[in-house]
Amino acid sequence: MPEEEEAATAATSADGVVGLEEPKKMTREDWRKKKELEEQRKLGNAPAEVDEEGKDINPHIPQYISSVPWYIDPSKRPTLKHQRPQEERQQQFSSIEEWYKRGVQEKAISTKFRKGACDNCGAMTHKKKDCLERPRKVGAKFTGNGMAPDEHSQISLDLDYDGKRDRWNGYDPEDHMRIVEEYAKVDQAKQTLKSQKLHEELASGKLTDQASSSRKWDDGERTQEQNSEDEDEDKYADDIDMPGQNFDSKRRITVRNLRIREDIAKYLRNLDPDSAYYDPKTRAMRENPYQNTGMVPEDVGFAGDNFVRYSGDTVTMAQTQLFAWEAYDKGSEVHLQADPTKLELLHQSFKVKKEDFKDKQKETILDKYGGEEHLDAPPRELLLAQTEDYVEYSRHGAVLKGQEKAVARSKYEEDVLIQNHACIWGSYWREGCWGFKCCHSMVKQSYCTGEAGIKTTSSSACVPFEEGLEQQEEEKEPKTLLEMHREKLKEKKKKKQQKKKKQQKKKKHGSDSSDSEEEDEEKKKQKLNKALAAEDVRLKQVEEMMKVDERKRKYNSLQEIKEPTEEEMEAFRMKRSREDDPMANFLELGQ
């Protein structure tokens, strides 16, 4: 034993020297002695190592745990202090009993506004921007009424590792007692309901057979209580049903429901038994439940499963699937799921070839049998010249009632008046220049000067202008048939009166006046015949001009323009043809 003690003391002294002079390299002899001492301590032959507090260090602790880091203990003495909780660090953390205070302080509420308090409610623990009360129209700062109590001044908790991860941290055990009391009230209400039900059954005579003996009564009461308890539990279990789940009271399990509670069940949309069929197994209703109610499918929330099935890209998908089956039967290896891109390209090329084949077939039939002119025929409405639009014309062809035909317009601006002008630019022409007719100005962006501008330009003008071009004719509004009928009656009365006067004059003057009237009528007929011949010549010229290309037509702006006579206007009206006239086609056929 003394040899072992000497070896141990030598090892401790050697270990102490090694510990103090750790930066120095350890010799082989010292390393061997250290390992032998560790083995002796593990076997229990040598005393355990002691730290600065006098506590033994377990020799079986690994070296990476027992060795002290250089930044914790510079003394390099054997210790496990770095593995234990540091008191300095533990004092910084909050205890597990501390938590944030809730509610308000239980002290008297101030009746006056205090300096630095909230302007809205009058509490000292927060400012107006942090106030959680409803914003008042006039704050407590100005009214001095309705001061709110002060909240608790919250402390900043610095929890340790376990405190941050404690799920029950801050839980008040009194909350559990409130829940227990609530369930106790529910049980008491159940008992009162049972007693009332039993009294009602006794009064009605349902339990007369059970009252024959006390034993039977007690047994019946027990069974009745057990059955009633089960019924009540089932009833309350249905009330406690969670959204999205269904509580099965017999098996005591929760079954997941596939339908959302907010949706209307399909079988509840139309309670008529003759309406759309509902399959409860697959929960499918293929037809529209609102089909016979007169509602539009777009206005209802559900129009049947087939409505969704036959809308969108489902139709095209079905067509491609049908094409894939037909192509596979004819020998081409295509599949919708295996190679969709190849199938789509093949389907597109098939559509193009099909259209080309139809066009070629149509062309061959037309080449063989003819009849292409019937395909290019105008619509049926134009061929028959019949419409439901009512239009009333005058004897001259003017529209009296009905819709006037829309005026054809070009792509350029029309009827745009600028700078207070009454006419458009280009309504006046002189000496190769265009201008405004209202003021005879040749500058496009000039302001209208009216009649004063016409006087100045006419005084300085060299070329005289015709009065017919300067004056603007007033267009008369078309008269109605009633007004025209009244005018005819007036004219007839005037003619009768004129005839009476003429007869009276004839009696006085003889037959000289009658000869002059006949001569006047013959002259008018001759003038009208000349006007009709001239109108025929003009219409032929117009037809020849329309046959010529627009780019090769001649300009007629330099021709002399005169006011037409009454005979020319009458000839124009007689020869004029209207496209809207339903009798125009018959007249052309008659000619």
Longest dimension (CA), the chain: 192
pLDDT in tens, 495-510: 888 888 877 776 666 5
Write the Ramachandran bin of 243: left for phi over 0, alpha for psi from -120 to 50, otherwise beta: beta
Higher-confidence position of 107 and 261 = 107
By CB atoms closer than 10 A (0-12, 13-18, 19+), residue 230 is exposed
Rounded distance between C-alpha atoms, residue 277 and residue 288, angstroms: 9
Q: Would you state the pLDDT for residue 203?
A: 78
Q: Would you state the pLDDT for residue 358?
A: 94
Higher-confidence position of 83 and 59 = 59
C-alpha dihedral (270, 274, 275, 281), degrees to nearest 10: 90
In this prediction, residues 284-301 reach a mean pLDDT of: 80
Model confidence at 371: pLDDT above 50: yes
Model confidence at 475: pLDDT above 50: no
Interacting residues of 479 by C-beta distance below 8 A, sequence separation 6+: 394, 400, 487
pTM for this predicted structure: 0.23
Range from 112-116, 162-166, 272-276, 512-516 that averages highest in pLDDT = 112-116
CB 120 within 8 A of CB 139: yes
Q: Would you state the pLDDT for residue 508?
A: 64
Q: Report the percentage of the chain scoring pLDDT > 70.
A: 75
Rounded distance between C-alpha atoms, residue 434 and residue 370, angstroms: 55
Model confidence at 15: pLDDT above 50: no
Model confidence at 241: pLDDT above 90: no
Rounded distance between C-alpha atoms, residue 343 and residue 37, angstroms: 84
Q: Which residue has the tokens 């029309």?
A: 414
Q: Would you state the pLDDT for residue 89?
A: 65
pLDDT in tens, 372-421: 888 887 777 677 766 677 778 888 877 787 766 656 667 777 778 887 88
Q: Would you state the pLDDT for residue 244?
A: 44
Q: Would you state the pLDDT for residue 586?
A: 64
Q: Would you state the pLDDT for residue 37?
A: 92
Model confidence at 451: pLDDT above 70: yes
For the chain, the domains span 177-256, 315-365
Q: Which amino acid is at 240?
A: I
Interacting residues of 285 by C-beta distance below 8 A, sequence separation 6+: 266, 267, 276, 277, 278, 279, 304, 305
Band of the pLDDT at 127, cuts 50, 70, 90?
very high
Model confidence at 246: pLDDT above 70: no
Lowest mean pLDDT among 340-344, 367-371, 380-384, 508-512: 508-512
Lowest mean pLDDT among 27-31, 312-316, 335-339: 312-316
